[in-house]
């Protein structure tokens, strides 16, 4: 189970007990914000895309939307989200719980600049009813982020 892998990852990283499990769904930005009690923009949503045959993750602020032109400028191809029914196969987490931790091998993660206005954010933790509060530097480190990108609008 993805949640157990994420919890084990954070225990090994010395951050045991930081994963929050809730009784209600955190599968959408709005649900996660309500469950956690924070502003929706502080939910760090992890979006999965295909670059050719390779999967990547882009972590954005909850109020940000991918800008197709910026995405193409950054990654040299049009944004193509992984089909819903294939996300778990590619990433290792099911939709609603996708996060950049404890993912399948060779998945690159990128952080969008829309996150940089916050001290801490709440990404999912492998299930549709979990999250973890992390500083931006913790998020960058534990997501094994390749780099910061600017591929969003609307925030």
Residue 3's pLDDT band (boundaries 50, 70, 90)? very high
Instruction: Write down the CATH superfamily of domain 2-153.
Output: YbaK/aminoacyl-tRNA synthetase-associated domain (3.90.960.10)
pLDDT in tens, 79-138: 999 999 999 999 999 999 999 999 999 999 999 999 999 999 999 999 999 999 999 999
Are the CB atoms for 44 and 66 separated by under 8 Å? no
Q: Give pLDDT, residue 1.
A: 79
| Domain spans of the chain, in order of start | 2-153
The pLDDT tens digits of the residues spanning 31-65 come to: 999 999 999 999 999 999 999 999 999 999 999 99
Residue 121 β-bridge partners: 134
pLDDT at 16: 80
The CA distance from 146 to 14, in Å, is: 22
Burial class from Cβ neighbours inside 10 Å (0-12, 13-18, 19+) for residue 47 reads buried
- Is the entire prediction scored with pTM above 0.75? yes
């Amino acid at each position: 189970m993805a949640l157990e892998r994420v919890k084990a990852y954070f225990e090994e990283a010395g951050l045991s007990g930081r994963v929050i499990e809730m009784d209600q769904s955190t599968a959408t930005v709005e649900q996660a914000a309500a469950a956690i009690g924070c502003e929706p923009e502080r939910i760090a949503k992890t979006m999965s895309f295909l670059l050719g045959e390779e999967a990547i993750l882009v972590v954005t602020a909850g109020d940000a939307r991918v800008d197709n032109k910026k995405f193409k400028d950054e990654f040299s191809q049009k944004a193509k989200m992984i089909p819903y029914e294939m996300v778990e196969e590619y990433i290792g987490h099911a939709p609603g719980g996708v996060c950049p931790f404890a993912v399948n091998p060779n998945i690159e993660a990128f952080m969008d600049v829309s996150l940089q206005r916050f001290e801490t954010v709440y990404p999912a933790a492998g299930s549709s009813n979990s999250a973890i509060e992390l500083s931006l530097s913790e998020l960058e480190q534990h997501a094994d982020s390749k780099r910061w990108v600017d591929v969003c609008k609307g925030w």
